Amino acid sequence: MTITPPEIAYAPKDAERLDHFMARAAAAYYAARDPFQDFATSPEISQAFGECLGLWAAVTWQAMGRPDPVLLVECGPGRGSLMADALRAIAEMMPAFRAALQVHLVETSPRLREAQAAKLGDAGVTWHEDVAALPEAPMILLANEFLDALPIRQFIRRGSVWHERFVLDGAFVEVPSDASLPEDAPHGAVQEVNEAALRFAGWLGARLKRHGGAALLIDYGPAESAFGDSLQAMRAGQPVDPLSAPGEVDITAHVDFAAFANAARAAGAVAHGPLPQGVFLQRLGFMTRAAMLARLDPARAQAQLAAAHRLTAPEAMGRLFKALALCDSSLPIPAGFETA
């Protein structure tokens, strides 16, 4: 009889669990660098994006019975462009909503808070480190490319055993894990778990149930949960090794929308979507607004139309990016999600 040595069920000294590595890398990155040199987000590409989301919030506020006050919350607001564009559109189209709303931004990076303060001027903004600090009131929450920045754990199937991935000296090491994960996974399958996103979904579901309101989350990832390694990093618009230079590159992962929606549902919210971003934006009248912007400024007309194409075309950001809405159960189907 052969005696197999016991498997080492702990990580080597100095190895860091992937989510801990990613949290540390993301915090250092957003604190020290201008992320918008490394990648372009929808609000930075077209002002019509934030304007349409602002009008989505305004229509949602009406459906909520026009609560006053109401919180307009954004998680991970970056340079503040989405909120600035949204507030401008809201002030023009529905001044009563502008008067009733209080702007709350959830942002951990002091450097990006400064950029947001400069952009939003006298909009009356309150900042928070964490959603848990938001006041108890009805709310409408927006988040674009926020969930993809939250840290993930990764597990890889080796034979009939799941192993967890740790990071050591810029490379993965694998440690046998007793996490409860699907037993029918093939050898080599990678399962990602975003515990921070799932906690946020649980908080959001309970919060919408308690005080009413809705959330709109836009990010990239598949509509259905799937195995796969989606960890990625960008530097100056180019993909780079996510483990190579922590804090110097933007490190993200695809969002598991199905898992996120399930966690929010379990906590009491109703989920709509996810829908491809292109479909969602077109239903909100995004193309009409983009065409109007092109007419208003002939010198930038081509750029406006190219930006609109980039956000909506399936081969660009229109299909990989998805929109997911969460609502309290008293609300009708939110704008754009009608046949989702």
42/257 Cα distance (integer angstroms): 19
Interface with ligand SAH (CB under 6 A), residue total 19
- Min separation Cβ 74 and ligand SAH, Å: 7
Beta bridge partners of 144: 218
Q: Are 109 and 31 in contact (CB under 8 A)?
A: yes
> Which C-beta is closer to ligand SAH: that of 64 or that of 308?
308
DSSP letters spanning 234-303: EETTEEE-TTTSTTTSEEE----HHHHHHHHHHTT-EEEEEEEHHHHHHHTTHHHHHHHHHHH-GGGHHH
Identify residues 113-172 at the interface with ligand SAH (CB under 6 A). Answer: 144-146, 149
Q: Which residues of 262-275 are buried (b: 16+ CB within 10 A; e: fewer)?
A: bbbeebbbbbbbbb
> Which C-beta is closer to ligand SAH: that of 139 or that of 149?
149
Letter for the amino acid at 300?
R
The residue at minimum Cβ distance from ligand SAH is 76
> Which C-beta is closer to ligand SAH: that of 162 or that of 257?
257
Does position 26 interact with ligand SAH (CB under 6 A)? The reply is yes
> Which C-beta is closer to ligand SAH: that of 85 or that of 107?
107
- Min separation Cβ 298 and ligand SAH, Å: 27
99/116 Cα distance (integer angstroms): 20
Q: Which of 43, 54, 213, 246 is the binder for ligand SAH (CB under 6 A)?
A: 43
Site mask for ligand SAH (CB under 6 A), range 94-113, x = bound: ------------xxxx--x-
Does position 281 interact with ligand SAH (CB under 6 A)? The reply is no
- Min separation Cβ 217 and ligand SAH, Å: 11
> Which C-beta is closer to ligand SAH: that of 20 or that of 333?
20
Q: Are 55 and 91 in contact (CB under 8 A)?
A: no
Helix (H, G, I), strand (E, B) or coil at 19: helix
Helix (H, G, I), strand (E, B) or coil at 14: coil
- Min separation Cβ 184 and ligand SAH, Å: 33
Cis bond leading into 69, ω under 30°? yes
Conformational region of residue 207, where left means phi above 0, alpha means psi within -120 to 50, and beta covers everything else: alpha
Does position 19 interact with ligand SAH (CB under 6 A)? The reply is no
- Region binding ligand SAH by CB under 6 A among candidate stretches 10-18, 39-47, 154-162, 176-184: 39-47
Note the residues at the interface with ligand SAH (CB under 6 A).
Answer: 26, 30, 35, 41, 43-44, 76-78, 82, 106-109, 112, 144-146, 149
